Amino acid sequence: MLYQNAQEWIDAPHKRVLFFGMSGLGKTYLSTMLREQGDWFHYSIDYRIGTRYMDEYITDNLKTEAMKIPFLRELLLSDSIRIAPKVRFDHLTPVATYLGKPGAPDKGGVPIEEYRRRQTQFRTAETAALMDTGHFIDRAENIYGYPHFICDSGGSICEWIDPALCENDPLIAELSQHCLLVWLRGDKAHTRRLVERFDRAPKPMAYQPEFLARIWEDYLLKNSVKADDVEPDDFIRWTYAQALAHRQPLYEHMARYGVSLCAHDVAAIKTPDDFTAMIATAIDAA
């Protein structure tokens, strides 16, 4: 780990952490609290993906849809309007909309081959954004004077690691030399709430290619449907709980190179001092 014991963490003039875990367990809550109350720079992986690595894909997709409307087509061809996504820390809808949901196009779905292509684009983008962490640590300190740093990662970070490589996995090796990896983990009650929340408002997700291939074929067989007839929201609802189970051992593997905090305890953190103390306890327990 970057900090070998609790006292080293407490005394560190530069505290650097990377939060990982499923969406809804406190990553953005902690990042926002530390940014607003302390001397912490907040590096959002999802924001970096949307504004740097996938901006052109998203923009081109918007233009493709606009070109289907004669009125907008004429304005675009005459260079009379500008179309661009608006991505913010708290508004990442353009990224999710582009990623889409696989299934019947007439039901708002993306054909499975196009969906796989976009998944590959997202994997490349997220990996690149994560590998930029060291660069942003330097920027945060040298340009803005922030002593402390948070990397707020997306829930799919674990999809791109290879547990068989252990500490030689490129992502783990790169990230753990710059940050203390902090897993925000949930219990069974959190899992139920996450599934219920997702069921109410299913959102696009990124999956490991092998997992996606298996789960897609399982869904087609179980429901006796063809790819072009899949109900997009039904598929991703059906997939979500299985994705949670699929990600759990991957998160556990990543936590071997850092510490973990229970989401119940995270909810009790109200100040940067609370956070420092809880991380110190977790380091001693690791």
Residue from 135, 113, 108, 109 nearest 52 by CA: 135
Q: How far apart are CA 158 and CA 20, in angstroms?
A: 8
The secondary element (H helix, E strand) that includes residue 134 is helix 133-142
Do 22 and 196 touch, CB atoms closer than 8 A? no
Q: Rounded CA gap, 131 and 135, in Å?
A: 8
Q: How many domains does the chain have?
A: 1
Question: Does the pLDDT at position 285 exceed 80?
Answer: yes
Residues contacting residue 182 through CB under 8 Å, at least 6 positions apart: 17, 18, 19, 20, 258, 259, 260, 261, 279, 282
CB 25: neighbour CB atoms within 10 A? Answer: 26
Lowest-confidence region among 42-56, 75-89, 96-110, 261-275:
75-89
Please list the residues that pair with 17 across neighbouring strands: 150, 180
Backbone phi, psi, residue 186, to 5°: -110, 165
- Dump pLDDT digits (tens) for 235-267: 999 999 899 999 999 999 999 999 999 988 998
Percent of the chain with pLDDT over 70: 99
Q: How far is it, in rounded angstroms, from Cα 273 to Cα 198?
A: 33
62 CA to centre of own chain: 22
- Please give the angle made by the CA atoms of 248, 251 and 257, to the nearest 5 degrees: 150
**pLDDT given for residue 130 in this prediction:** 98
Could you tell me if residue 77 is inside a domain?
yes
Q: What is the CATH classification number for the domain harbouring 133?
A: 3.40.50.300
Judge whether 280 lies within some domain: no
Per the structure, the complete domain to which residue 104 belongs is given by: 13-265
For the cut 70, the answer to whether the pLDDT of residue 89 exceeds it is: no
Q: Is residue 279 part of a domain?
A: no
CA atoms within 13 A on the CB side of 52: 15
Average pLDDT estimate for 22-42: 91
Please tell me the pTM assigned to this model: 0.93
Least confident of 147-151, 156-160, 194-198, 258-262: 194-198
Flag whether 271 is in a domain. Answer: no
Q: Which of 56-60, 143-147, 185-189, 222-226 bottoms out in mean pLDDT, i.e. has the lowest?
A: 185-189
Length of the chain: 286
Q: Is 11 exposed, middle or buried (0-12, 13-18, 19+ CB in 10 A)?
A: exposed
Whether 281 maps to a domain, the answer reads no
Half-sphere exposure of 70 (CA within 13 A, CB side): 0
Determine, yes or no, domain membership for 283: no
CA gap 43, 13 in Å, rounded = 19
> What percent of the chain has a predicted confidence (pLDDT) above 90?
84
135-155 pLDDT, tens digit per residue, is 999 999 999 999 999 999 999
In a domain, 112, yes or no: yes
